[in-house]
Amino acid sequence: MLPTDSTARARHDWANGFRFPPAVLRFAAASLAGAVLVAALSAGLFDAALVHVAVTTILFLAAALFAATRMARDYPHAALGLANVVTLARLGLTAALVSQILSGEATPWLVFALAVAALCLDGMDGWLARWQRLTSRFGAMFDMEVDAALGLVLALNALAAGTVGPAVLLLALPRYAFAATGRILPWMARPLPERRGRKLVCVLQIAALIALQLPLLGDMQAALIVTATALALAWSFGRDILWLWRNRP
C-alpha cells in the first residue's frame, strides 16, 4: 500500500526536524576544539589532576551542548559568526578556571590573567556580531549566560581562596535568582529594554570579581569592593524588576 500524501509529508517533516543547521554543526566542531583547549589550560596552567581536567572538560561540553540546542532554535543565520566563536572561547576560559577551584592550588595571578582575557573578549563579541550583521537572540543569550557563569566561578574562587567571605556570592547569584523567579512569575520572564546602565553594571561586576582574585587586597578593600558592587547590582536589578512590574500584563 502506497503512503498517502499526509504520511509522506509527516515523514518529510520528521526527517527535516533532525537536520542540524550548518551554523550548529560548525558550533559543535568549534566546541570539540574548545574542549581540547580547556583540557590543555587546566592541565598545563593549573597542573590539575586528571580527574579535575575531566570534570572541567565535561562541564564545558555540557554547557556547549545546551548552547547548541538554543542555537538550533533561536539563531537564524547560516554562518556561525566570529562573535559566537569569541563567546565560546570565553566559555572555555571560564571552564578552565573551574579546575583552579577543584584543585585547591592557589594561583591567583593565573586566575587574574585568564579572567582579564575573558573580560577583554567580552568587549568584542557584540561588536563582531554587529559588524558581520549576525546579531541574534541566541547571541545575546549566550553572551549573558557566559557572563553569569564567569561571575559565579570567580566568586567561588575568591571564596575558596579566602580572599573574601561568603558575601562575595551576592555578586554572582542575582542573575540566577532573577532567572529562577521568572520561572515562577511569568511577568518576570518578559524581555527587557536595552539599557546602557545594565551593561555598565555587568562590566563593573566582572571587574570587581577579577580584582578580588588579587592577593594584594586587604580585608577592608575587599569589603568595600563587595559592598559597592552589591549596591550597583541591587540598583540595576531593582530597576528592571520595577519596569517589569509596571508593564506586567
Whether 4 is covered by a domain: the verdict is: no
DSSP string, 169-232: GGGTSHHHHHHHHHHH-GGGGSPPPP-HHHHHHHHHHHHHHHHTT-TT--HHHHHHHHHHHHHH
- The parent domain of residue 132 ranges over 20-246
Whether 15 is covered by a domain: the verdict is: no
The CATH number of whichever domain residue 130 belongs to comes to 1.20.120
Q: Are 80 and 23 in contact (CB under 8 A)?
A: yes
Distance between first and last Cα of the chain: 53
Task: Please state, in angstroms and rounded to a whole number, the distance separating the CA atoms of residues 127 and 246.
Answer: 32
pLDDT, residue 107, reads: 82
Block means of pLDDT (10 residues each) for the chain, 249 residues, are 40 48 93 95 87 95 96 93 96 93 82 92 90 93 94 94 90 94 92 90 95 88 95 96 92
pLDDT, residue 19, reads: 65
Whether 126 is covered by a domain: the verdict is: yes
Whether 12 is covered by a domain: the verdict is: no
What 3-state class would DSSP assign to 194? coil
Whether 6 is covered by a domain: the verdict is: no
